[in-house]
Structure 1
Amino acid sequence: MSSPATWSIEPHTQAKHDLLRFYLNAWFPILSSGRNQHVIFLDGFAGPGIYTGGEPGSPIIALETLIRHSHFPRMSQTEFTFIFIEKDPSCYQSLKDQLADFWSLSGGKPNNIYVHSINDEFRNVAEQIATSALGTLAPTLAFIDPFGWSGVPMTTIRDLLSSRKCEVLFNFAYDSVNRFVGEEAPSVAHHFAELFGTTGTEYQDASRLAADDRKVFLRDLYVDKLREVGGFSFVKPFEVINQSRGRTAYFLVFGTRNPTGFDRMKGAMWRVDPEYGCRYSGEEDNQLSLFSRAPQLSPLKAALRDRFAGSTIVVKRLEEYVVEETDYTTTHYKRVLKELEDEGLMSCVSGRKKRGTYPPGAVLHFEP
């Protein structure tokens, strides 16, 4: 029996879609405001475009985020290409139907938007695009969201997104990987070697670890390989818990070569997880709280003191450290700096006109 074309959405899937939507909301205007005349969004496992409750799938979310963006009227000089890949025939047909309905309800497709729906496997299409582009692909965000761990080689991601302005949001299906990572059968081991981009079987070391250590090991291995093999300078995972099963479903792993894109994605993660910016647990969905979930900034405060104790540093360099080497964003560090200054642990030496402000050129001194 064939699988149904649509299925019900789960809370952790909704969280994944929220993260994608939040990032695209920042990504589209940033890319279209520069010299980029062509921008690509690629969905490697596009699905049917809708869930049984009527919730939109990722292709519709991406299109909707663009055309309903308040800045979209100013993006008329940029061509937006959407590539939706789906290998299942029934899901593909459903996707085509949903796209037709979407444009009908939206009053037609804008002239600067191009949509290509492809009934094939992600790997096949990605390799074809990589071969034709030869490292010159237009700025691209590839959302790669497989159901398991096969058909998504690290080398394919590397070759497809080798251009400097390309980024990836990858669903590292930890729950599925964890169940099979110790399997030594060649048919399985081959796919894991491709997934991690390894020539050996170092991933099998995970099977000898306790549950929590195994999760960290596999997560870090994929993150490291996305840097080393994939070629992305900045990589960050976001853990997503399946609350109904009480365990980690997957890590959404973002890779980019651009610190601004990295900061914006971390901002999107903080919107999904307002306390720590790194994990969706689902617990907050079932709680009625009188208190908002505020960012927990004490780890950043401790990190700044440890890193810069006894040092004098320009704010711009401190900001680079926060963006590139911590879980925090440019929206967080100034609140922490004010606390440190109020407590006498940091002072501003020069470069500002008003206390409590920290412009990029201001010079700060941290007490030992």
Structure 2
Amino acid sequence: MSNSDTQWSADGKEIPFVEQHTKTKHLLTEQYVADLIYTIYRAGQYGGVRNFTIIDGFCGGGIYNDRESDNIWFGSPIRLINSVEEGYLKSGRTYPLNVKFIFIDKKKEHLECLKNITMSQAELEDLSDGNQHTVKTEFGDLILECEFINDEFENKVDYCVFQSENRKGHSLFILDPYGWSDVSMASFRKINSLKKSEIIYTFMVDFIKRFFYRSKWKARKTFTKVLETDGYFDIDHFRNLDTFGEQAQFRNNFMKLLRDKGNASRIMTFAMMPNNNDRVLYYLFHICSHLRALEVMKDGSWKFNNLNYQYHYDIYGFGFKAALFYEDNQLDLKLDINQDSQTACINKLITDLDKIIHNNPDGILFKDLCNQTMELNPATRQQYFEYLNFLREAKEIEVIRKGKKTNSQKLENGDIIKMSRQPTLFDMRGYIS
């Protein structure tokens, strides 16, 4: 919930209207959590992660009015709970899954609305008492617990990190703050210190456009202190963040800040903007430490091809680039993530993968190839399969599995990718459709 004007009354009689970009964010997060549970809970012969801790640091009242459908729209707390159940049931596993949700909001009336009104409307009122509840399913037991905390998220970061660490397993922090000062860089470091943690973080750009590049902005020192931005945003390089180049430079610098100061291992971002409009509403940052989590998020982004996600090449936060670089290259750097972009995505893989394969004549593990390139393009794991299978069919590469060549269409992390001993005489890439 990124708007400080968004309010809920304790009795649920006053609830806000949901904005389209908020719905977009809810749908993507909901899909991601279901896919994440399905992927890492069901992994392996005897199962994967069995304990999850999910923290919604700015949960709000959890319910909206939807102008589009003239109905109610559930917010992130309800969608998180439902998506966990969806992922669990989809996995078909029979061993218990234990999930604790921590919902935090600084306004008491918001939590009262969530606990007493929203949970009831979603038929989840049993979870409002703060106790563990076991849901018996056709497969096994799903153990759910909800904790409600009335406080500033910053005041509870240490507690949330302790809970996640003590419960072990996997943790996910949903951070959709009211303003830039609600999540400090120190908090990012604490969360990223956990071995298996992820963050989905929303950063509103409108605030930055209105205030940050005014030389007399009184809160500049506080901004610099809270987010530790000294040396990352030179106001002489920006005017009003209305051009593609300035937006791209700002986004790249913020990603670099998260890598350098927030100890973020992997980052994927989306620029969320209205249809047929280059005005960025906010940036959505997915921060994780494990490759598989990044791959799952990519899969989800392609599923919502009717929503206006945009991926920008060369905005990774690995180094500083000037706004002029992005202005000069913007036609090559922008890509709508939809099915029409399949060819453009594969073409980006040509750039990312071919050089690495050529530079490793003795071969490179498929896992290492993904580790080196997965943040540099919007391609999913399946699209990696498709491109590498194309190269193999063209006799440009070989795939070695356990010492023998394999023709399996589904590659494994331990497979070795190497140049073929008899490469084709022609470049077949132009025939990729």
What is the TM-score normalised by the length of structure 1?
0.82
2:102 pairs with one of 71, 83, 87: 83
TM-fit CA distance, 1:73: 6.9
Structure 1 segment 169-208 matched on structure 2, within 5 A: 169-184=200-215, 187-194=218-225, 196-199=227-230, 202=233, 204-208=235-239
TM-fit CA distance, 1:248: 0.7
2:383 pairs with one of 294, 310, 332: 332
What amino acid maps onto 1:48 in structure 2?
A: G
**Is residue 19–residue 269 contact of structure 1 (8 Å, CA) maintained in 2?**
yes
Secondary structure in 1 matching 2:219: helix
* CA 1:72–1:207: 2 relative to 1, 3 Å: same
**Is residue 86–residue 118 contact of structure 1 (8 Å, CA) maintained in 2?**
yes
TM-fit CA distance, 1:100: 3.4
Secondary structure in 2 matching 1:327: coil
Report whether the alignment pairs 1:254 with 2:292.
no
Unaligned runs of 5+ in 1: 281-290
TM-fit CA distance, 1:104: 4.6
Report whether the alignment pairs 1:157 with 2:188.
yes
1:364 pairs with one of 418, 423, 427: 418
* CA 1:80–1:357: 2 relative to 1, 3 Å: closer
Secondary structure in 2 matching 1:164: coil
Per mean C-alpha deviation after superposition, the further-off stretch among 153-162 and 78-87 is 153-162
1:16 pairs with one of 25, 31, 53: 25
Structure 1 segment 113-124 matched on structure 2, within 5 A: 113-124=144-155
1:41 pairs with one of 36, 40, 54: 54
Which residue is equivalent to 1:286?
none
Distance 1:172 1:272 in 2: 21
**Is residue 41–residue 141 contact of structure 1 (8 Å, CA) maintained in 2?**
yes
Distance 2:216 2:238 in 1: 14
* CA 1:59–1:355: 2 relative to 1, 3 Å: closer
Distance 1:206 1:94 in 2: 44
Deviations 1:139-172 (A, max 9, x none): 2100100233222111122224421111101001
Distance 1:292 1:245 in 2: 20
TM-fit CA distance, 1:268: 1.7
Report whether the alignment pairs 1:59 with 2:113.
no
Which residue is equivalent to 1:301?
350
Structure 1 segment 275-294 matched on structure 2, within 5 A: 278-279=310-311, 293=340
Distance 2:287 2:80 in 1: 18
Which residue is equivalent to 2:269?
237
TM-fit CA distance, 1:8: 1.9
Q: Could you tell me the percent identity over the aligned residues? A: 21
TM-fit CA distance, 1:119: 1.9
Aligned CA-pair RMSD: 3.5
* CA 1:155–1:62: 2 relative to 1, 3 Å: same
Unaligned runs of 5+ in 2: 9-14, 67-71, 135-142, 313-337, 428-433
**Is residue 31–residue 39 contact of structure 1 (8 Å, CA) maintained in 2?**
no
Which residue is equivalent to 1:287?
none
TM-fit CA distance, 1:252: 0.7
* CA 1:348–1:147: 2 relative to 1, 3 Å: same
Secondary structure in 1 matching 2:199: strand
What amino acid maps onto 1:327 in structure 2?
A: P
Distance 1:158 1:349 in 2: 39
Distance 2:217 2:127 in 1: 52
Per mean C-alpha deviation after superposition, the further-off stretch among 148-157 and 99-108 is 99-108
**Is residue 182–residue 204 contact of structure 1 (8 Å, CA) maintained in 2?**
yes
TM-fit CA distance, 1:102: 2.6
Deviations 1:257-288 (A, max 9, x none): 111111111222222348997449xxxxxxxx
Which residue is equivalent to 2:119?
99
Distance 2:272 2:310 in 1: 9
Per mean C-alpha deviation after superposition, the further-off stretch among 27-36 and 176-185 is 27-36
Per mean C-alpha deviation after superposition, the further-off stretch among 351-360 and 163-172 is 351-360
**Is residue 203–residue 283 contact of structure 2 (8 Å, CA) maintained in 1?**
yes
Length, aligned pairs only: 355
Distance 1:234 1:335 in 2: 24
Distance 1:107 1:128 in 2: 21
